[in-house]
Structure 1
Amino acid sequence: MAANLPWDITIEILSRLPVKSLVRFKCVSKSFYSLISQDSQFKRKHLDQSTRHDLIVNLEHGPERLFSSSLSYLSSDDHDQEGVIELPYPIKDNFSEYMTVSRSCNGLFCIQDIAGIVFIWNPSTRELRRLPDCPRTNDRIAYSLGYDSSSDDYIVLSIHKSIIGDCAARARTVFQLISLKRDSSWRKILDLPGMKFSLYGSYDFYNGAFYWTENIFIYSRRYGPLVISSFDIKEEKIKKIELSPPSRYSDQYTIFDVSVLGGKLCLYSLSSVTSFDLWVIEEYGVMKKILSIRLNEIQRYAAQVFKPLYLFEDGKIMLHTRINRIEQVDIYKDGDSAPKTTAASCKILRAYIYNETLISPQG
């Protein structure tokens, strides 16, 4: 029957299937193999229609092992072991406690190992690509991965400090880029004195730019407005947005950071005496509050991490938390003071969200 279907209808059907099935179907025929493995338009179509998002965690008692599960499974009430699979570890002999992993971009991850080597990894297809060594003089700050829609190419941003002599006060921040298709080596694009950067290394990619907060810790208003910086990959320039948090934060010790959730640029805060709050940053820096979680006394004073991972369509949010040195992944809804426990509520080391994709790290 499949042989009698028009090719365009066959493509539509295949573009809606999970990656695991498509990998198996590559052996059906030469045309299937060519479509699934080599056709960039089909890969993009499959990505655009993909609705499955997965969570990767590695557990405290087994740091060398990675486990993946779909978010639909984690948010349901019916949990069994079949909903969780183990992934082959991407970098041999380098466990995740020694890895730095950026937020996923279109299902791809940028990974740096303990030796400073950078890789691009697709957990859906298990493909891994090592990038050329990145020139750096001092401490690495961050790597992040973005997508240039004008050239259908993926861009890796490297940010690191360059200290002149032995004087930290004269440190410069160096920006370097490499594209997966066009570049064979890293190229320096900016060398800025006194640049402020995210202490958490959160450089999320949104709408053609990498975003981070400069003054992440706000106490009273003595530090001035909250500043969000961005690096535009087309113009290769730094831009800034100044935000004014609500006045009720003026006398509180509050952590602010940015995150891309539900396809929108968001600002979130963790306050020492109130709550976890989430805003969407709209045009011209307008903030629209969409969620607030009440923190009890134990959470307020014991929380070291309250990081959003995923915003569901029904308004619930998945958070990676570390409270009293115990790390969990839980789901909250607006107004909650206690989470809905998920299958990932156990001692973990890292947690990452990605969507299924056929996109190859090879470019």
Structure 2
Amino acid sequence: MDFSNIVRAQNQVRVQKGMASHLTNNHVIIADILSRLPVKTLSRFNCVCKLWYWMINSDPGFQALHHSRSWRNPRFLFRLSDFDFNPLEQLGYRYAYNFVSTDTEGKNICLMQIKVHEPVKLILPGCFGLLVFSTDTRIHVCNPSTRRILALPDYKSKIAGFGVGYLSSIRRHKIVRLIPRRPSSLHLECSVFTLAPGEEGFSWRVLNDQCPYLVDQFSLPAFANETIYWKIDRQQALNRHNDFIVSFNIRYEKFMTITHPADWIPTSNLDWRSPIRNSTQLVELRGTLCMIQTLASSHVAVWKLADHKNSMWVKICMFETSRIHPNFVGEVQCIKDGEIIFNSASNYLLYYDVRKKTFRKKMLPHSAENLTSYCESLTSLTR
């Protein structure tokens, strides 16, 4: 291709991208209608015309509008207990996991399958439309709306912790990986992967700043206010003053520690064999970090982190669960229309209305234990 053809191709791409912004700015009604549709429907509209194609796939303004709408209507992804194992798979994807996607009422059911090389260890809650999960040595990024999966570069050492966040200023996801430098080390090496589809560079970036604590590998991290939060490993937390949470700001890429609330009841005195019924959970609710403590056959307390730097917590609500069977009270997944939604160790979702102080249950055709929440997104995972 000669120089004139290169210039012509570059101009064509520039014009096409401008067409998408032009459509969003001058066809507000069309953009408003399309932004209310699910991703599956929008993928079919790619073929309507070039303007719609570039708006749906390339216009950040439209994608942000679509996310703001889908964020109000989260979806649940249930991992079924069975999985397929094929040791003779030619491409090496020996493990196939089956998922069921529904809305928050257990309706609009869709099936989904994920194939990986190693067993899946942990799936994080959705972050701006993307799910991140890990095996022993590799982290994967998945968009359940488009059913695209991206395997990030692997590492020889086992992963000691990971998290994901979204930096709105650059409109990019950042995945954080924690790995031990030495088997006996109490500090963790931190690497960051910036998800930038279509751009050059596909590697982890090792930071000089290390994670000061081992993190709890059996509890989920939470992301809020440009910060990822992990619970500190229980054994280390007992010997390290009142430090309870280690945080990582994805903008400044710095670690901090946070203490627990003053009237928090340590779960170390409870039965460690009941991680669901007696648990302390970190979760993002309405854009802020919350800590949920669930005591079996007793109550659920919800704290909100009011001041990150000074570790100031505010208890926003507390409600009894003595009349609810312990199997129905799992971990908090999200809050919608004033209701806090719990998963459970049964086939039920549990809903608590904060204003009316009432419970209701919803029966599902499958277990509600292995559950994560996400919102639909048009984010591309194409390299």
Normalising by the residue count of structure 2, what TM-score does the alignment of the two structures yield?
Answer: 0.75
Q: Which has the higher contact order (CA 8 A, sep 6+)?
A: 1
- Aligned residue for 1:126? 147
Check whether the contact 2:224–2:284 (CA below 8 A) recurs between aligned residues.
Answer: yes
| Mean CA deviation greater in 147-156 or 16-25 | 16-25
1:317 is displaced (CA, Å) by 1.1
| Mean CA deviation greater in 335-344 or 14-23 | 335-344
305, 320, 335: which one aligns with 1:281: 305
| Mean CA deviation greater in 17-26 or 337-346 | 337-346
The reply on whether 1:8 has 2:28 as its aligned counterpart is yes
Residues 344 and 288 of structure 1: is their aligned pair in 2 closer, same or farther, counting only changes over 3 Å?
A: farther
- Aligned residue for 1:175? 190
The structure that is strand-richer by fraction is 1
Check whether the contact 1:121–1:128 (CA below 8 A) recurs between aligned residues.
Answer: yes
1:147-186 matched pairs, under 5 angstroms: 147-164=166-183, 168=184, 170-181=185-196, 183-186=201-204
1:346 is displaced (CA, Å) by 4.2
Check whether the contact 1:177–1:189 (CA below 8 A) recurs between aligned residues.
Answer: yes
- Aligned residue for 1:42? 62
Matched AA of 1:343: M
**Distance (Å, rounded) in 1 between the aligned partners of 2:355 and 2:214:** 34
Check whether the contact 2:343–2:368 (CA below 8 A) recurs between aligned residues.
Answer: no
What secondary structure is seen at the aligned counterpart in 1 of 2:363? coil
Name the % identity: 21
1:291 is displaced (CA, Å) by 3.1
CA deviation map 1:118-155 (0-9, x unaligned):
2211111222222222x343x32222221122222111
1:294 is displaced (CA, Å) by 2.1
What secondary structure is seen at the aligned counterpart in 1 of 2:40? helix
- Aligned residue for 1:332? 352
- Aligned residue for 1:77? none
**Distance (Å, rounded) in 2 between the aligned partners of 1:223 and 1:193:** 14
Residues 189 and 60 of structure 1: is their aligned pair in 2 closer, same or farther, counting only changes over 3 Å?
A: same
Check whether the contact 2:225–2:287 (CA below 8 A) recurs between aligned residues.
Answer: no
Check whether the contact 1:59–1:348 (CA below 8 A) recurs between aligned residues.
Answer: no
Normalising by the residue count of structure 1, what TM-score does the alignment of the two structures yield?
Answer: 0.78
- Specify every segment of 5 or more residues in structure 2 that has no aligned partner in the other structure, as ranges: 1-22, 85-96, 271-277
1:359 is displaced (CA, Å) by 1.4
**Distance (Å, rounded) in 1 between the aligned partners of 2:319 and 2:100:** 28
Matched AA of 1:117: R
- Aligned residue for 1:80? none
**Distance (Å, rounded) in 2 between the aligned partners of 1:222 and 1:275:** 28
Matched AA of 1:143: F
CA deviation map 1:68-117 (0-9, x unaligned):
1111x34xxxxxxxx342333132687xx734211110110112246x33
| Mean CA deviation greater in 243-252 or 21-30 | 243-252
1:228 is displaced (CA, Å) by 2.1
- Superposition CA RMSD, Å: 3.6
Check whether the contact 1:180–1:362 (CA below 8 A) recurs between aligned residues.
Answer: no
Residues 252 and 223 of structure 1: is their aligned pair in 2 closer, same or farther, counting only changes over 3 Å?
A: farther
Matched AA of 1:196: L
CA deviation map 1:323-355 (0-9, x unaligned):
xxx575322345999952213374345101111
- Aligned residue for 2:126? 104
What secondary structure is seen at the aligned counterpart in 2 of 1:98? coil
- Aligned residue for 2:320? 294
1:6-155 matched pairs, under 5 angstroms: 6-50=26-70, 51-60=72-81, 64-71=97-104, 73-74=105-106, 83-91=107-115, 98-113=120-135, 116-133=137-154, 135-137=155-157, 139-155=158-174
Check whether the contact 2:121–2:134 (CA below 8 A) recurs between aligned residues.
Answer: yes
What secondary structure is seen at the aligned counterpart in 1 of 2:47? coil
| Mean CA deviation greater in 180-189 or 269-278 | 269-278
- Aligned residue for 2:334? 310
CA deviation map 1:246-289 (0-9, x unaligned):
17769953643321112221011123674221122112433232
Matched AA of 2:143: N
